[in-house]
Amino acid sequence: MVRKRVRPELLDNYGLVPLQIQMLEPDWLDFNKDNGVDILFGQQFDKSGRLQGYWIRDQHPGESLLATGIKIQSTFVPKQEISLHFDSRRAGQRMGLPFGTAAILTLRDMGDIRVSQQMKDKIAACFFGVVSEPDGLQSTDGNPIAFDTIEPGAVEYLPPGRSFQAFSPPSSGDFVNTHKEYARAVAAAYEITYESMTGDLSNVNYSSFRGGWLEFSRRIAYLRGKVSVPGMLSPVCRWHDELAQMAGLLRGPMTWTHTPPRREMIDPTREIPALIDAVRAGIMSLSEVQRAFGYVPEEVITELAQDMERAKRAGLTLTVDPGLVSNSGVAQAPLAGPAGPVSSETESADEETPDPPSA
């Protein structure tokens, strides 16, 4: 959730757009205002069900002020100054679900199983001995010596009439495979790959790893195109243009282009030739490929032109220019120019040439 803050001092003191963006957690919404009719999850609606604004707390409910007993107040903020973005899974959904919600109980069970396995390993590592005597061993106060704990390397003496029998805990199965299955369930709940979450690449090959990575990349592209850009970036750009025009810093609306971070390649030697073929076949544009790698196409073209111009002045030939050198480093043949007009001397020579004699 992002909130628009107007800061006139930024314009007065620094000549900047008087805009400040505040990032807020959903906890800032005042859920105590809910009445089930026109206010729901801290969001106020009119009689037609249209959103009017949000009730934002003055302080985070988890801060130290809550422990002092001071009641945190909330302020109504119009919807034009707040952008609440989340992945909507159904029509009419008012709040989003945190990633990993489906794995909360699984994570708790994983923690319990790990603690139990660690305790079992500790008990198994405790090598100790028990000594018993016919007369028994008495302590200084006359009471028999008893023990109820074990520790590695200990030698304990049993009192008369007592015997010790070691407890062998039952086998809990294959802990490693069990932990992996739980981890896969957690990764699925967080919508990431098991390998990305754990770093375990022991059971994957190139094809399986690439398939999982592509599926994860598609999910990221979906969240970026359906949640981040329309729900956070576009409202911020609109607020910027509005305040910039009001402050006289912008004459007209700007054109915004959102360039995501680059996607790391799994095998560049295979993927780059495929991208080149896609551009040459007209399936993708060069700008689209450049944006997919996190670059701004205009900046890339400008830098390439500057690099080739500097190389030309230095007398260098780069393979980046296919008009001069092929990808293998072989110089390209110059293009043949269009045929020029035939000269008058050639025409007169053709006219003066006598016909060969007939046989």
Which of 124, 188, 172, 123 lies closest to 149, judged by CA? 123
Which of left, alpha, beta for 298 (phi over 0: left; psi -120 to 50: alpha)? alpha
- Give the whole-angstrom CA distance, residue 259 versus residue 327: 29
**How do 43-45 and 51-57 pair as beta strands?**
antiparallel
Residue 33 is classified by DSSP as G
Q: Which of 41, 198, 190 is nearest to 101 (CA)?
A: 190
Report pLDDT for 118: 87
Contact 121, 263 (CB under 8 A): no
Give CA torsion, residues 216, 218, 223, 229, to 10 deg.
Answer: 130
The pLDDT of residue 127: 60
Q: CA torsion sign, 246 to 247 to 253 to 258?
A: negative
Query: Among 95, 98, 74, 71, which Cα is nearest to 85's?
Result: 95
Q: What pLDDT, on a 0 to 100 scale, did the predictor assign at position 348? A: 47
pLDDT in tens, the chain (359 residues): 999 999 999 999 999 999 999 999 988 999 888 776 788 889 999 888 899 999 999 888 877 555 556 677 889 999 999 999 998 888 888 888 888 898 999 999 999 989 988 888 887 777 666 666 565 555 555 555 555 666 666 666 667 666 666 666 666 678 888 889 999 999 999 999 999 899 888 888 888 888 888 888 889 989 999 999 999 999 999 999 999 999 999 887 788 888 888 777 888 888 899 999 999 999 999 998 998 888 889 999 999 999 989 988 998 877 777 777 766 667 766 655 555 554 444 444 444 555 545 44
Residue boundaries of the structural domains of the chain: 2-64+72-83, 101-132+149-170
For 209, the 3-state DSSP assignment is helix
Q: What is the largest CA-CA distance in the chain?
A: 150
Residue 1 near residue 23, CB atoms below 8 Å: yes
Interval 304-329: pLDDT, tens: 999 989 988 998 877 777 777 766 66
Claim: this prediction has a pTM higher than 0.85: no
Q: How many CB atoms lie within 10 A of CB 247?
A: 16
* Cα distances (angstroms) measured from residue 244 to each of 3, 14, 81, 215, 348: 17, 14, 16, 40, 74
Q: What pLDDT is stored for residue 131 in this prediction?
A: 60
CA-based nearest residue to 54, from 44, 62, 64, 63: 44
Of 272, 260, 252, residue with least CA distance to 229? 260
| pLDDT (tens digit per residue) in 15-32 | 999 999 999 998 899 988
